[in-house]
Amino acid sequence: MKLYIYDHCPFCVKARMIFGLKNLPVERITLLSDDDATPTRMIGKKMVPILQKDDSRYLPESMDIVRYVDALDGQPLLTGKQNPAIAEWLRKVNGYANRLLIPRFAKGAFDEFSTPQARASFVARKEEAIGSFAEHLSHSAGLVKNISDDLRALDKLIVKPNAVNGELSDDDIHLFPLLRNLTIVAGISWPTRVADYRDNMAKQTQVNLLSSQAL
């Protein structure tokens, strides 16, 4: 199987997670950010992740990929219950996190930005969507305080470091990608249980953190 991704993309992290959790091999292919033609040829539009299955058919949509891969061996891992408080926390934080993340992604050492044209395309597209990166970066201190406060609230919700609710569930697939991407932001205060969960999930899923690029 082949998985077409962007490294910074949280939806792609979801798809990567299930392969790591199941310890299944997959060939990861990072598309350039300005490559519209390849995904359009596969699924009719520009989006990732895309899984090319063993029968060569293409499967888009992160959670569809997660469900497909989790069911392949007839022994699904994501059997735990979800906690509405986790979904509510994610709704709140996702309401502002991109103002911290996207300007930093644009400066990051990601393969999807390995040509100047690909990086410029990302910057132009995202600044049109969320506004000036420089403006968002100038407000980093306040946003970092907000996320640090919200992580303290999350700390109380974490049951175990290897599964947020005690047993692996969709909540883990939704939560870890955001925590992983937040490691690109310098100055965040990580509470102990959140940090332990973040680090443990990175090992379980074989998805790298971004701490080395933090700014």
- Separation CA 162–CA 203 (nearest Å): 10
Distances (CA, A) of 182 to 14, 33, 67, 148: 15, 20, 25, 11
Q: Which domains does the chain have, with CATH numbers?
A: 2-71 (3.40.30.10), 87-213 (1.20.1050.10)
pLDDT at 121: 97
pLDDT at 90: 98
Predicted confidence (pLDDT) per residue in 72-92, tens digit: 999 999 999 999 999 999 999
Query: If you search the block for the tokens 């596969």, which residue do you land on?
Result: 42
Nearest one of 154, 98, 143, 145 to 122, comparing CA atoms: 98
Predicted confidence (pLDDT) per residue in 139-180, tens digit: 999 999 999 999 999 999 999 999 999 999 999 999 999 999
pLDDT at 24: 96
Whole-structure pTM value: 0.96
